[in-house]
Amino acid sequence: MCGIIGYIGHRNVVNVILSGLTNLEYRGYDSAGLALRDGSDIKVYKTLGKLVNLKNELEARKSELYNVTCGIGHIRWATHGSPSLVNAHPHSCTCGKLVVVHNGIIENYKELREELIKKGCEFKSQTDTEVIAHLVANEYSKAKNLEMAIQNSVAKLQGAYAICVMHKDVPDLIIGARKHAPMLIGVGDGENFIASDTPAIIEYTKKTIYLDDNEIAIVTKDSVKIKDINGEEIDKKIEILPWEPIALSKLGYKHFMLKEIYEQPDVIRNVLNGKIYDIDEPIILNEVKLDKETIRNLKKIEIIACGTSLHVGLVAKYVLEDFTGISVEVEASSEYIYRKTTTDSSTLVIGVSQSGETADTITAIKQAKAKNAHVLIVTNRPDSNMARLADSLIPVNAGIEVSVAATKSYIAQLVSFYLLGIYMAEVKGTLDSDYLKNLKHEIIQLPTKVEEILSCTNSIQTCAKKFSSFKNFIFIARGVNLATAYEGALKLKEVSYINATGYAAGELKHGPIAMLDETMPVLSILMSGGITYEKVLSNSEEAKARNAKLIALTSSNDEKLDSLFDVVLRVPQVREILSPIIACVPCQLLAYYIAEFLGKDVDQPRNLAKSVTVE
């Protein structure tokens, strides 16, 4: 979704802002813009589409710029008003002296807009953001102090905002403010940054101050002051970012998505590191702050998440129920919020989110907290809003994920749930010790098994070419891999725009079978050694009888599969409950290679955003 960077300091301001926006590009956007203080002027540049257009525009107009000392930049993912130049940020007040960039949604913007029009403000765009420009300018005309104007203005805003403001009459000052949308300060030497997310600043500084809700940052090149909305100064801690700039490089891979798929063995090792060190010893999960008695008395677990993280939750249901005997409900956050849930203090609510900023999940988590549930967050962003709401926090440490399509964060979240399940089972005594030892032993082998898949992807690439011209796909599975079917279909849809749907294999004959013919390939997930293999095989035969082209994703060496299926993708054998870790990898690769073969924008699929910060 939208991204913000503000910079004031000794470097080339245009370059810093453009590189900051480039590092936020992965979030998804449809226009970009920046405002620069050049001498006593403020100059605004905006373009539609990709950032390269803004770069070209600035290159063409660089002779107009003389002495740029600070600036604010933005990439916009349209919410209010179409993606157009007039709706792109920065927005200005009527006289053009004040500029603002904004992430979030102002819910009372219509009322404010009417009031401001009555006061003579001239609106140019359809955005909710433009009200902020006029509102602050209006307050500034009364207070003659930008800081106070912002304090007075944010008090009138309802909804979510992270804003950066500059004013022509207040040289060399950028003010930021936030409520329900992330914002941080990058602290430098003779320079400072304001950004909506860490990748925007990581090239320049690791020293960060995270703004909390209702805080305002007053930033010059030599100072950063954080105040509350009453103007009281707050003493904030400087934190050191855990990321390295190298995380934002493709390291020779054609796309971040492929690089991140290949990082997965190490990502799994990272998750296991320090938690399983000896199969005879209990799992160490200090992050879980529930005492053992509470774990023993838990009545229910609710998992809330969206998209790929929701699929993690669906796997986790099988794992946690199997390992602990506790009943688990899984629901899309955007639906959970409409239910009168039976959540109470004996419920463990788990929010799953790679970004930790997904608005629907944050709302659902707040609802669960209000019902006194213990909230555990599983996320790749321990610095996120969601992490700050957590009673317990499991950071999955997958490293920054740049590709919009989640891959390594998915596998890291999955592995974290296996560890959580074992931890709880050890507290409750629900699994016998031999089973536990074997399970841990197999979990430790997982990185090597994923490496085996990644070391030979020829058959997946050939399959991708063969099937790239199909317009529709069905993925089927049963049991713990039903979520793998959903996730495989989602990945394919996201990056290749091919219509793909995951179905419980048993449901095929209750409706979807009507769609089957030679134009509708079916990918069956057949993990051997468990209770679902034979049944999924029968369902695949039913599909074959309707002339569907068949792909098997299997850990079985049974040769009869080669005559039934058009393509057989083989993966290493693991016990069925662990197989989603193995089965998800070929699904990711298939989606990647089909999209790459079709020439799609793999890392930044159209219309998608990495952090979905609006409900």
Closest contact distance (angstroms) between CB of 425 and ligand M6R is 26
CB nearer to ligand M6R: pick between 355 and 481: 355
Of all residues in this chain, which one has the CB nearest to ligand M6R in the complex? 307
3-class secondary-structure state, position 352: strand
Q: Smallest distance, Å, CB 385 to ligand M6R?
A: 11
The residue type found at 584 is C
Neighbours of 356 (CB within 10 A): 27
Q: Which residue number, 343 or 354, has a Cβ lying nearer to ligand M6R?
A: 354
Q: Which of 179, 275, 600, 610 is catalytic?
A: 610
**Contact at 8 Å (CB) between 327 and 321?**
yes
Identify which of residues 406 and 551 has a Cβ nearer to ligand M6R in the complex. 406
Residues near 185 by Cβ (< 8 Å), separated by ≥ 6?
176, 192, 193, 194, 195, 208, 209, 211, 217, 219, 224, 226
Using CB atoms within 10 Å of the CB of residue 514, give its burial: 0 to 12 exposed, 13 to 18 middle, 19+ buried.
exposed
Q: Which of 2, 121, 164, 463 is catalytic?
A: 2
Residues 6+ apart with CB under 8 A from 418: 319, 443, 578, 581
Q: What's the closest the beta carbon of residue 309 comes to ligand M6R, in angstroms? A: 4
Q: What DSSP character marks residue 400?
A: -
Task: Give me the phi and psi of 128, to 5 degrees please.
Answer: -75, -30
3-class DSSP state for residue 364?
helix
- If the CB atoms of residues 173 and 181 are measured against ligand M6R, the closer one turns out to be 181
Which residues of this protein are in contact with ligand M6R, per CB under 6 A? 306-309, 353-355, 358, 361, 404-406, 494, 608, 611-612
State the nearest-atom distance from the C-beta of 382 to ligand M6R, in Å: 13
Catalytic annotation present for 465:
no
CA neighbor of 394 nearest in space, from 378, 408, 409: 378
Neighbours of 559 (CB within 10 A): 8
CA distance readout (Å), 612 to 197, 352, 358, 498: 13, 14, 5, 22
Q: How far is the CB of 413 from ligand M6R (least distance, A)?
A: 8
Tell me if residue 378 falls in helix, strand or coil: strand
Locus of tokens 């257009």: 53
Nearer to ligand M6R, 378 or 548 (CB): 378
Q: Provide the CB-side half-sphere exposure for 142 (13 A, CA).
A: 11
Rounded distance, CA 1 to CA 493, Å?
19
Residue placing its CB nearer to ligand M6R in the complex, 295 or 362: 362
Distance in Å, CB of 420 to ligand M6R, minimum: 17
Q: Shortest distance, CB of residue 410 to ligand M6R, whole angstroms?
A: 8
Residue 61: φ, ψ to 5°: -110, 20
Measured from the CB atom, the residue of 495 and 516 that comes closer to ligand M6R is 495
- Annotated catalytic, 610? yes
| Closer of 405 and 614 to ligand M6R (Cβ) | 405
Smallest gap from residue 473 Cβ to ligand M6R (A): 16
Residue ranges in 209-332 assigned as alpha helix (H) = 256-262, 264-272, 292-297, 307-324
Which residues are designated catalytic?
Answer: 2, 610
